[in-house]
Amino acid sequence: MTTGALPRRVTARDVARRVGCSVATVSLVVNGKGEGRVASSTQQLIWEAVADLGYRLNQTASALARGRSSTIGFVCPDPTNPFFSMVLEGLSGALDDELSLTLLMPNQGSDYDLGTLQRALAGDFAGLIIATPGRHLMDGFVPTCPTLLLDAAEAHPRIPGIDLDVVGAAGQLADHLAGLGHRAVGYVGVSRDKASLQTRRQALASSLERLGSAVVADLELDVLTLSSARDAFSTAWPAWDAAGVTAVVCGDELHAYGVLQAARTLGIDVPGRLSLVGFNDLPYSELVQPRLTSVNLSALDLGAAAGAALQEYLITGEPPATTMLPTRLVVRESTARASR
Amino acid sequence: MTTGALPRRVTARDVARRVGCSVATVSLVVNGKGEGRVASSTQQLIWEAVADLGYRLNQTASALARGRSSTIGFVCPDPTNPFFSMVLEGLSGALDDELSLTLLMPNQGSDYDLGTLQRALAGDFAGLIIATPGRHLMDGFVPTCPTLLLDAAEAHPRIPGIDLDVVGAAGQLADHLAGLGHRAVGYVGVSRDKASLQTRRQALASSLERLGSAVVADLELDVLTLSSARDAFSTAWPAWDAAGVTAVVCGDELHAYGVLQAARTLGIDVPGRLSLVGFNDLPYSELVQPRLTSVNLSALDLGAAAGAALQEYLITGEPPATTMLPTRLVVRESTARASR
DNA sequence: ATGAAAGCGCTAACAG
DNA sequence: CTGTTAGCGCTTTCAT
């Protein structure tokens, strides 16, 4: 039973020695810069030696010599949240093979903080993508490498980003609800101090008001779990009922599921008595009845767009213009004509 | 509007020059090895200069000089799948601050392959964690750094791992079902060529047989989506019904949700007519009625255990013994006494 | 207590 | 076409 002391790493020197050439030549060939500069016979020999010896380029040394790393950092609150895992998926799909992806998440707690950001700065990244930062988190931020902000309209004046058209989405949603005759809507927000989350509430409220409706009741939850929404809504419902609320909008769809659950328990008919909508189109929609009307924030596209933009940035050196991704309202069974 | 050409990086040399000491001293202090070796006045000065200049250790150079990197690689099929995202969460929580985590996932397709593994080998990782590899993927694998296999009993004779007690879980499940009088059960499998998945089916079958019951019908699905299970089950049901199936077990709970949906459409009462169970306890349980009985594979614990074990491995140099994590059957409303 | 020096393994001019 | 040279920024003896 050999306990596995791993063999010393094979270096370019070993390959060079074996072939009888210099390290520089090995470097050229291995990096695919050999064509037209190194005799093809030599290339042959080098590749053979590489295979025989099991040589692999030392990325660390390569990065150091070259002066830039080839890994990009992705900062996000919680990979367990479908929204972020989908952004991640989109991002990873959009990145070139040579780029690797390291994940920076909070050490504890459900959202990342300055500490996480510090770690991101400390790592040697070719580029950085920061997803949905808290409102003031970026205030004193000085980028040390090409950096992109996701879903954080104006969190930082100098850093380009990819945004979701939350305002447009809120407008669509307001149209939809007002069109169904909803005059009084309740809003379930997330207390996390994020620009994107706050915009959702504000944009909805002002769009509604323009149409003669209004947000007349609020709930603000600390944690992004189904049960927190369920419990809070159960408690709040009598007052909301009295206030004439006929529709509830949740800043995050996960909360909408909680509200739905509470509604079932309380015997509130959705959508007969109460219409229900959430932002974020989580992959639960087929699971639950009635299926929820929701604002699709297309996390996958967001990730993909970020990947593409960052690569552009890395290649050209020019920061991309901040872009806005469209969102769309997906109408399902949880919204209907206002009950009164 | 200054387009952001980033300033040249501050090096230890800059700090040394500012303080009037040598780079070596800076290195010592910055790495916390200064106590008792560097005058505290000098340390003071160095820290001040570090702060003033905004010096950050170049991880790449450090790793090169030191001969080992401080990032660990995590290879997994799909971060979108709650099972893996929870493993990831557990892992990230268990890792020391100094260790960073890079993610290796398939470039395309839903499961990773040799290419992904190559990339993992090519990166310079301090350690590697490979989650639920396909059955023969590890066959010719030669580790280049401390490596751990997750949920892959015996995929490789020499590589230690953390396993889930799938056999024990299958036993509990068989007891539960047989105890409720189920004699004929249908199994919905996942075609992915994974040791863990195949073990689930086999262990269940043999446990059931020991109790006088049996798996009498099979479905094997290519993709891990709810809809694939829904459609396949809809088609298969008449035959399964005829075969006297009173319970369905799904190798992955996501499929169980699909079966549940099909059952609703077909008017099959769950659990009155048909009991339903899945492996993996996805975070959907509160959403759907009836809530599914399932085998909790504790992804979070798996990730945490892996993180702890790998760190041990890195520090001691000794490969940890392969360990087995307990699993447990969580009985909810989707299983009941056999209908006949 | 501190500095000089020799690398870590690779890349990028620059000579020939 | 290929080798020599000079680093990349840091760590680590080993003198002083």
Centre a 10 Å sphere on the Cβ of residue B66 and count the other Cβ atoms it contains: 11
pLDDT for res B7: 67
**Closest to B60 (Cβ–Cβ): which among A102, A107, A124?**
A124
Tens-place pLDDT, residues A90-117: 999 999 988 999 999 998 777 888 889 9
Centre a 10 Å sphere on the Cβ of residue B239 and count the other Cβ atoms it contains: 11
Distance separating alpha carbons of residues A334 and A261, to the nearest angstrom:
13
Beta bridge partners of B279: B295
Which burial class, exposed, middle or buried, applies to A35 when counting CB atoms under 10 A from its CB (0-12, 13-18, 19+)?
Answer: exposed
Q: Which nucleotide is nearest to A9 (CA to C1')?
A: C9
pLDDT for res B340: 66
What's the average model confidence in pLDDT over A66-94? Answer: 93
Interacting residues of B316 by C-beta distance below 8 A, sequence separation 6+: none
Interacting residues of B76 by C-beta distance below 8 A, sequence separation 6+: B84, B87, B88, B103, B104, B105, B112, B131, B132
Could you tell me if B95 and B101 are in contact, meaning their C-beta atoms sit under 8 angstroms apart? yes
A82 phi, psi to nearest 5 deg: -55, -35
Spacing of B43 CA from D13 C1' in Å: 21
pLDDT for res B2: 37
Residue B90 tokens, joined:
């557990």
Q: Return chain B residues 9..28 having CB < 7 Å to nucleic acid strand C.
A: 20-25
The answer to whether the peptide bond before residue B271 is cis (omega within 30 degrees of 0) is yes
Is B287 close to A287, i.e. CB distance below 8 A?
Answer: yes
pLDDT for res A4: 47
Spacing of A41 CA from C14 C1' in Å: 24
Residue B105 tokens, joined:
């996932």
Tens-place pLDDT, residues A273-330: 999 999 998 888 888 889 999 999 999 999 999 999 999 999 888 999 999 999 999 9
Distance separating alpha carbons of residues A322 and A272, to the nearest angstrom:
42
Helix, strand, or coil here: A318?
A: coil
The chain A residue lying nearest B300, using CA atoms, is: A80
Could you tell me if B208 and B174 are in contact, meaning their C-beta atoms sit under 8 angstroms apart? yes
Residue ranges of domains in chain B, CATH in brackets: 1-57 (1.10.260.40), 60-163+298-324 (3.40.50.2300), 166-297 (3.40.50.2300)
Could you tell me if A185 and A177 are in contact, meaning their C-beta atoms sit under 8 angstroms apart? yes
Question: What residue type is A234 in one-letter code?
Answer: S
Q: Could you please report the per-residue DSSP string of B75-132? A: E-S-TTSHHHHHHHHHHHHHS-TT-EEEEE--SSSSS--HHHHHHHHHS--SEEEEES
| DSSP conformational letter for A289 | S
Residue B85 at interface with chain A, using a CB cutoff of 8 Å = yes
Residue A97 at interface with chain B, using a CB cutoff of 8 Å = yes
Could you tell me if A275 and A182 are in contact, meaning their C-beta atoms sit under 8 angstroms apart? yes
What DSSP element (H or E) covers A214?
strand A214-221
Could you tell me if A177 and A275 are in contact, meaning their C-beta atoms sit under 8 angstroms apart? yes
Could you tell me if A303 and A88 are in contact, meaning their C-beta atoms sit under 8 angstroms apart? yes
pLDDT for res B282: 87
Q: Compute mean pLDDT per 10 residues along chain B, 340 residues long, and list them.
A: 60 94 95 90 94 94 93 93 93 92 87 88 92 88 92 88 94 97 96 87 96 96 92 98 97 94 95 96 86 94 96 92 94 92
Which burial class, exposed, middle or buried, applies to B254 when counting CB atoms under 10 A from its CB (0-12, 13-18, 19+)?
Answer: buried
Distance separating alpha carbons of residues B131 and B63, to the nearest angstrom:
26
Tens-place pLDDT, residues A21-48: 999 999 999 999 988 889 989 999 999 9
Tens-place pLDDT, residues A215-252: 999 999 998 889 999 999 999 999 999 999 999 999 99
Q: Where are the extended beta strands (E) located within chain B?
A: 71-75, 100-104, 127-131, 147-150, 161-164, 184-190, 214-221, 247-250, 275-279, 293-296, 323-325, 328-330
Could you tell me if B290 and B271 are in contact, meaning their C-beta atoms sit under 8 angstroms apart? yes
Distance separating alpha carbons of residues A123 and A63, to the nearest angstrom:
13
Q: Return chain A residues 28..47 having CB < 7 Å to nucleic acid strand D.
A: 28, 36-39, 41-42
Single pTM value for the model: 0.91
Could you tell me if A87 and A131 are in contact, meaning their C-beta atoms sit under 8 angstroms apart? yes
pLDDT for res A5: 55
What DSSP element (H or E) covers B53?
helix B40-53
Residue A78 tokens, joined:
């919680």
Query: What is the β-pairing status of strands A328-330 and A293-296?
Result: antiparallel
- Minimal CA–CA distance to B319: which of B159, B205, B92, B200? B159
pLDDT for res A287: 85
Burial B280-302 (b: 16+ CB within 10 A, else e): bbbbbbebbebebbbbbbbbbbb
Residue A1 binned pLDDT confidence (cut-offs 50, 70, 90): very low
Spacing of B64 CA from C10 C1' in Å: 10
Question: What residue type is A41 in one-letter code?
Answer: S
Q: How far is CA B266 from CA B235, B241, B248, in A?
A: 10, 12, 15
Q: What is the residue whose two structure tokens read 């030696």?
A: A49
pLDDT for res B6: 63
Compute the 3-state secondary structure of chain A and give helix, strand, coil in percent, each to the nearest 5. Answer: 40, 15, 40
Could you tell me if A91 and A306 are in contact, meaning their C-beta atoms sit under 8 angstroms apart? yes
The chain B residue lying nearest A88, using CA atoms, is: B79
